[in-house]
Structure 1
Amino acid sequence: MKNNTSVREVYPTFLSLSSAFPKNAYLQKDLYETFGKEIYGNVAALERIIRRVRVRRRYLALDPREVLQRKVGLGERMAIFEREVMEVGGRSLEAVLRQVDRESIGSFVMASSTGYIAPTPDLLLARDHHLPSKLRRTFVGNMACNGGMNALNVALDSLVARPNERVLLNCTEFSSLHVRPEESSREQVVVHALFADGSASAVMGMEPPGVGPQVLDFHSTHLYGAVDLMTWRLVDEGFRMTLSPEVPGLIGEHIESLIETLTAKAGLSASDIKHWAIHPGGPKIVEVIGEKFGLSDSQLRSTWHILEEYGNCSSATVYLVLEDMIAKDKPQPGEYGVMLAFGPGLTMEGALLRF
């Protein structure tokens, strides 16, 4: 180890975080008055359902109102994905790469579930942003909202295996590409009101305490009996998501066990966790976790802020919450936190942090 630091004294550490979004932002109230009423006008209590989602504004690569005017096929949607992943993802990456020697990047892990191209976007981004040609790359696809945590898992393995290198991590998603006029349902109202577009990037390295947020442990829980409650499938016009209202309740049933397992190795408990970076898969999920652990408004501030001002950006969202938490809540050295994300499976994943 550099500086003669022993293995036990260094941990995987976030050295920098950055985010970027499509150029166009849309107020939820404006989308409700046009797209929402046109497609879902026969859904009972439509306005109340959309208001309950708590999203005020979203950044979108494809204006939902455009699909009211003409058919947007899968090919066009993927062409938009290819253009936007390079532009938006590129801005997010460049912000963290400016802070590091690019030759020190040994691995690049990227998660995205909202588009497909080959070569995968990580290779194209690596080329355009002058990363080493010997770079090891892993592309995490089709894992949706918890894909960012799977990317983190790969990054942790890479750092432990090669502690003298840096790891670049990126999550870039464009859920707006998959909005479609279809038979009205409460479920699809929630999906189309909740999800949004964005990109988050991080550089990680093995460092001693005090350099940045450190990942002390990681834990996954797969609820195999609930695989049909959250799905993501290809249809002719794009991808179609289903999201059962049973999901928050199941998370509530199992979240205490996940936190207990996640904190046990460090000799901690839930009461020792001051900072909660929760993926806002929906408002009910945030409420359930807040109630389970008695979290204060300040502990949930960053999660609610991201949901309200950016929406659910799938795999990128938990990093948006962490970035906002670090910038505004300013966790103190030695304080503990968690990152939590949930996705199809039903999968629940968490990382224990020390700031």
Structure 2
Amino acid sequence: MNNNTSTRDLHPTFLGLSSAFPKNAYLQKDLYETFGKQMYADIAALERIIRRVRVKRRHLALDPNEVLSRKVGLGERMAIFEREVQEVGGRSLEGVLHKVDRETIGSFVMASSTGYIAPTPDLLLARNHHLPSRLRRTFVGNMACNGGMNALNVALDSLMARPNERVLLNCTEFSSLHVRPEESNREQLVVHALFADASASTVMGMEPPGVGPQVLDFTSTHLYDAVDMMTWRLVDEGFRMTLSPEVPGLIDKHVDSLIGTLTARAGLSTGDIKHWAIHPGGPKIVEVLGQKYGLSDSQLRSTWHILEEYGNCASATVYLVLEDMIAQDKPQPGEYGVMLAFGPGLTMEGALLRF
């Protein structure tokens, strides 16, 4: 932060983004021929349903075919999580940490819903990557796909309270650890065809316009009558997700209030939003939002790209979209954008950005 800059000109700013993935990548067509046909052979239109998900490739810490050949217990799954969160998460962190003085990082907020260990992964990563021992840590768990936005909310609060410090944010997820042989139904087929593994990191600071994408506002909407539409619960051999086909319709019905709050408070209209970093919770959600707001192919390019090439990586996904958008679409200074994510609750969260 420039000491000559008025604090009124400063906003929470992304100073860099970085991502990392498990080393093993799997083509969806290959998983269909093996795991898909063996697990879901009795489901009509199996191939069409998998194609409809639009995922072409995924990085996975646990090969789905392995759970068909032997029992993989919860303890082994969590041991894989502890190993991979340090390896993959560490590569993601180093992608942003090498650009900053680590002694300036006062807070570290991390989101993950796919594994549980204590000490929590943020402490292990802080130790491994030589972060200050006075570090304030917040671990956001069990919030699933919108966990990354909740981590952002915590980061914003930290920056407002201590504007001279940097905040490190990380989201690391390994949904592949929770693939299990179980009842064969369309819902679980979609879940197991959609989700994947990734880590995303960013460092944030209070900066004037022009340094990086700035967060101008943040808001949340909770649909309390829809708590059963998306769930994430512990079962004997891992976690089990449920995902209702009614979720895209609920988002379509209620997202206007979320977007309207962000734009109205900034004196903007929806038409002023040029860049849309949408968490691709599934193809139907992306299609609904694209149709609702008349988004062009170029405005949805980064969202579709991440879904197709990496899958739904839970809390990390919206940061993967933002990272790709900045690198490929190159938003111009002064242009506006939004980050949107959706998760259990049913919860919708959004941030207004200025590039």
TM-score range, shorter chain: over 0.9
- Using the size of structure 2 for normalisation, the TM-score is 0.99
User: Deviations along 1:311-353, whole A, 9 cap, x unmatched?
Assistant: 0000000000000000000000000000000000000000000
- Residue 44 of structure 1, CA deviation: 1.0
Matched-pair identity in %: 88
The 5-angstrom pairing of residues 164-175 of structure 1 reads 164-175=164-175
CA distance in 1, matches of 2:22, 2:229: 30
The 5-angstrom pairing of residues 182-193 of structure 1 reads 182-193=182-193
Residue of structure 2 in register with 1:265 after alignment: 265
- Residue 6 of structure 1, CA deviation: 1.6
The 5-angstrom pairing of residues 188-267 of structure 1 reads 188-267=188-267
> Number of matched residues?
355
Secondary structure of 2:204's counterpart equals: strand
Gaps of 5+ in 2: none
CA contact 1:2–1:164 (8 Å) conserved in 2: no
CA distance in 2, matches of 1:2, 1:294: 39
Secondary structure of 1:3's counterpart equals: coil
- Residue 2 of structure 1, CA deviation: 3.8
User: Deviations along 1:189-213, whole A, 9 cap, x unmatched?
Assistant: 0000000000000000000000000
CA distance in 2, matches of 1:8, 1:284: 40
For residue 125 of structure 2, what is the amino acid of its counterpart? L
Residue of structure 2 in register with 1:301 after alignment: 301
The 5-angstrom pairing of residues 280-291 of structure 1 reads 280-291=280-291
CA distance in 1, matches of 2:154, 2:74: 30
Secondary structure of 1:99's counterpart equals: coil
CA distance in 1, matches of 2:12, 2:320: 19
User: Deviations along 1:242-292, whole A, 9 cap, x unmatched?
Assistant: 000000000000111210111111100110000000000000000000000
1:16 has 2:16 as partner:
yes
| Displaced runs of 4 or more, over 4 A | none
Residue of structure 1 in register with 2:314 after alignment: 314
CA contact 1:103–1:132 (8 Å) conserved in 2: yes
CA distance in 1, matches of 2:328, 2:121: 31
Residue of structure 1 in register with 2:38 after alignment: 38
Gaps of 5+ in 1: none
User: Deviations along 1:97-141, whole A, 9 cap, x unmatched?
Assistant: 000000000000000000000000000100010000000000000
For residue 258 of structure 1, what is the amino acid of its counterpart? L
For residue 114 of structure 2, what is the amino acid of its counterpart? T
CA contact 2:2–2:207 (8 Å) conserved in 1: no
- Residue 40 of structure 1, CA deviation: 0.5
CA contact 2:277–2:303 (8 Å) conserved in 1: yes
